Structure 1
Amino acid sequence: MAKALSFGPDYGFGLYIHWPYCTRICPYCDFNVYAAKDRDNAPLNAALLADLERHRAVLPEHPPLGSIYFGGGTPSLMSAPAIGKLIETADRAFGVETGAEITLEANPVDISLEALEAWKAAGVNRLSLGIQSLDDEALRFLGRDHDSAKARQSVAETLQVFDNMSIDLIYARPGQSALSWKTELTDALNLGAPHLSLYELTIEERTAFGQRAKRGDIVPMPDDDQADLYELTQEVCNAKGLPAYEVSNHASLEAYMSHHNLTYWRGGDWIGIGPGAHGRLTVDGERIATHAALRPGDYQAAMDSAPPQSPGVMLSKLQNARELIALGLRSHEGFDLERIAVLTDHPVNRTALSEFETAGLIRRNGELVTLTPEGRLLADRIAAELSP
């Protein structure tokens, strides 16, 4: 039986905290980030705390938080006391479930046993480590500020303190061969992290790489070659016992899947605080999209001013349905046709559904629709064609 709503906190409730500063901005990065320099972080820390209190005022009926995620940017640049204060304030405002997943994204150069212990004492219980590559030449190309030796060391030290950890890698780099990627990926899997996030290099127009590609200095890998590397990735990870539970994410056990990201893919609610952070909230039975001011100064000024009359923009039933399909298809759980039917009078494209099933790109189990391994290569296209 379908739940009363097709979205909302019954499907998960999380908190995303965006820390926008980095010591170095990577040439491929398209996130809302700024150079850290010698900034006074106290005003931003105060604004984040104020934003939490504002959300509490409009969300009186929500359950305790099941996850907190510190993303960025480079949130490992935050002080451990500031991290702890945010977790404490979130707990006071909303409650935090016992055993809730609390993730901190970290840069390898910020890793030390002392820092790891301080983050753990502050309340963090999961680390996401952006090593990006284990190849020194690739790390230089990607503009990273660490080498492969530091990447390996940071994983080993993290595993001494955090059993639950993830590492990020970027592949499908220009000129990368299948053999070199297989070797690098196998090497990464042997480091022992129970979760890997594996992303194909995407060159966005407004990034430094985008400008270089426009000049012809970088030639992106052809789509067919990227697809070959994606399929190779699945083979290698499956053989090592880390199958994909989402298009780009792999875990050795269900316990190590990202609980926070599953809230996104399931259509749950999350609070988004920090410059440029997005959120999805259920208020009086309606789905609200929130988007904080992009620039840190504007965000801080907004927290010093009177609260807006509405927490965000109300999404239509059709927008909600399309989000549920697009996000749901990304994970191994898929999406439920019954949830879409309850939400909107606009039906899923049944003709496309049948064609994709016949082609072996999706599976049907009653009302549940999931992608096959082959379908994951076309996830965005399939979601678009199925959507009402």
Structure 2
Amino acid sequence: MLTGVEREKFELNSIFFGGGTPSLMPPQIVAALIDRASGLFTLAEQCEITAEMNPTSVEIAKLKQFADAGINRVSVGIQSLDPDGLNFLGREHSTEEALSALDGAQHYFDSVSADLIYGLPNQTAANWSHQLDRILSFGLSHLSCYQLTIEPGTVFHTRARQGDILTADDDDVADLYLITDERLKAAGLPGYEVSNYARPGKESQHNLNYWRSGSWVAVGPGAHGRLSTPKGRLVMENRKSPDGWLADVSANGQGCQHQTIETSRQSFEDYWMMGLRLNEGVPWPAPAALGGNDYELNTYWLDVFSAEGWLDLTSGYLRATLQGRLRLNTLLAHLLSDQHSDLRDQGQ
């Protein structure tokens, strides 16, 4: 979809092998893909090349091979350091395997991240604090701590509809979030996004590109991409079926199932929904290429939330404060609402 000239202008700052269990791939395929990418595009001098991995013995055994293949950063899907938590989440690895994976990853990679999930039913502050202390003892440069959410199409969603209580109380979850922010900041990993914490300079460049409304190329079954074009942001969605994707690539040279240009409104909303997740925020107003000339945030709610201390506008950047990030979905719903109807509702 990109011409040779367009590819030459497209510098890759990151490559991310994600989408489940990419570390089950033979390392030689990883090496070949990186080599191919470097032939098609210009790779940045400090290109971040990440692979997600699960902490199983099979994947741990491949760490050195992946480092030799060109991976320079790994993200380990720990999810929990509590046996009961792992069982609840349906994870196949043990706590011991998780700790072994972290130890092994640090031996071969300078940049290691781990994922944890909080907000499980009846989870206590003491339980979560203990898990944070254990993982901080490894001196990792990056942590992702996600609130447990129930996604449609999952077993959890089916159970929730049947009445099972599968997440902690909202107030308890908020307390766990504040504990996370405090503990990790004190350990030298300040938050830089709603769910991500890193030592300065170790932030995930790949994910920062998402949150800053950058461009990325979709490669592989089910992958999604965005490219900035003169006509607007091009949205790409590849076929989900591996067999179908391979068939399309063989027949057409690419496996993209849907392509569309975002509307100005879609780009505007995406800019704020992604950008306000960042602790630093994003430039305000939105750039013209992302709907800034056509739309503006609801200034009534912007003033209300700023007065509450949930938003901060400084030096041309709008950011959500810690208390604002706790209620970010509510803030976004109001900021992106129609100002005239809101004023009518307020009797103004």
Partner of 2:24: 77
Which residue in 1 is equivalent to 2:210?
A: 264
**1:376 alignment counterpart:** 325
Q: Which residue of 2 aligns with 1:356?
A: 305
Give a deviation string over 1:179-198, Cα, whole Å, max 9, x none. 11111111111122110000
Unaligned 5+ runs, structure 1: 1-53
Give the aligned residue type for 1:284. Answer: P
Deviation at 1:339, TM superposition (A): 3.2
Report the equivalent of 2:342: none
* 1:181 and 2:135 matched: no
User: 1:244 aligns to what?
Assistant: 191
Looking at structure 2, the residues matched to 311 and 331 of structure 1 have their Cα atoms a distance apart, in angstroms, of 29
Report if aligned partners of 1:288, 1:311 keep a CA contact under 8 Å in 2.
no
Deviations 1:159-186 (A, max 9, x none): 1111101000011111111111111111
Counterpart in the other structure of 1:3:
none
1:157 equivalenced with 2:104 (yes/no): yes
Work out the CA distance in 1 between the residues paired with 2:164 and 2:329. Answer: 28
Instruction: Please name the residue that 1:16 is paired with.
Output: none
Matched, 1:287 2:233: yes
Asked whether the equivalents of residues 7 and 40 of structure 2 are also in contact (C-alpha less than 8 Å), the reply is no
Shift of 1:214: 2.5
Q: Does 1:64 align with 2:5?
A: no
Change (3 A) 1:113 1:207: closer
Note the alpha carbon deviations across 1:213-245, whole angstroms, 9 max, x for none: 223344422222211111111111122121110
- The change in CA–CA distance for 1:165 and 1:295 in structure 2 (over 3 A counts) is same
Matches within 5 A, 1:224-373: 224-253=171-200, 255-306=201-252, 312-340=259-287, 343-373=292-322
Q: Cα deviation per residue 1:324-371 (whole Å; 9 max; x = unaligned)? A: 111111112312123345633222211111111111001111321011
Cα deviation, 1:105-140, whole Å, max 9, x if unaligned, reads: 011115667522211111100000001111112112
> In structure 1, which of residues 195, 203, 207 is the aligned counterpart of residue 142 of structure 2?
195
- Asked whether the equivalents of residues 58 and 283 of structure 1 are also in contact (C-alpha less than 8 Å), the reply is no
Which amino acid in 1 is paired with 2:232? E
What CA distance in whole angstroms lies between the structure 2 residues aligned with 1:311 and 1:304? 17
Mean Cα deviation higher: 322-331 or 305-314: 305-314
Question: How do 1:35-114 residues align onto structure 2 when only pairs under 5 Å count?
Answer: 54-55=1-2, 59-60=6-7, 62-110=9-57
Are 1:321 and 1:344, in contact at CA under 8 Å, matched by a contact in 2?
no
Q: Indicate conservation of the 8 Å contact 2:276/2:320, yes or no.
A: yes
Q: Give the letter for the 1:348 counterpart.
A: L
| Higher RCO (C-alpha 8 Å, min separation 6) | 1
The CA distance in 1 between the partners of 2:333 and 2:269, in whole Å, is: 8
TM-score, length of structure 1 as denominator length = 0.81
RMSD, aligned α-carbons? 2.1
User: TM-score, normalised to structure 2's length?
Assistant: 0.90
CA contact (8 A) 1:352 1:386 kept: yes
Decide whether aligned partners of structure 1 residues 107 and 328 sit closer, same or farther in structure 2, where only a CA change above 3 A counts. same
Q: Could you say what secondary structure the match of 1:338 adopts?
A: coil
Q: How many residues align?
A: 334
**Contact 2:239-2:257 at 8 Å conserved across structures:** no
| Structure 2: 5+ residue stretches without partners | 338-348
Say whether residues 1:213 and 2:213 are aligned partners: no
The alignment partner of 1:291 has SS state of strand
Answer yes or no: is the 8 Å Cα contact 2:194–2:325 preserved in 1. Answer: yes
Instruction: Look up the SS of the partner of 1:313 in the other structure.
Output: strand
Displacement, 1:381? 2.2
| Change in 2 beyond 3 A, CA 1:261/1:110 | farther
- Structure 1 residues 378 and 62: CA distance shift in structure 2, 3 A: farther
Give the drift of 1:153: 1.0
1:8-41 Cα deviation digits (max 9, x unpaired) = xxxxxxxxxxxxxxxxxxxxxxxxxxxxxxxxxx
**1-structure distance, mates of 2:104, 2:67:** 13
Cα distance in 2 for residues equivalent to 1:94 and 1:263: 17
Tell me the amino acid that sits aligned with residue 221 of structure 2: P
Q: Is the 8 A contact 2:238 2:258 kept in 1?
A: no
Cα distance in structure 2, aligned partners of 1:338 and 1:356: 16
> Is 1:107–1:130's contact at 8 Å kept on the other side of the alignment?
yes
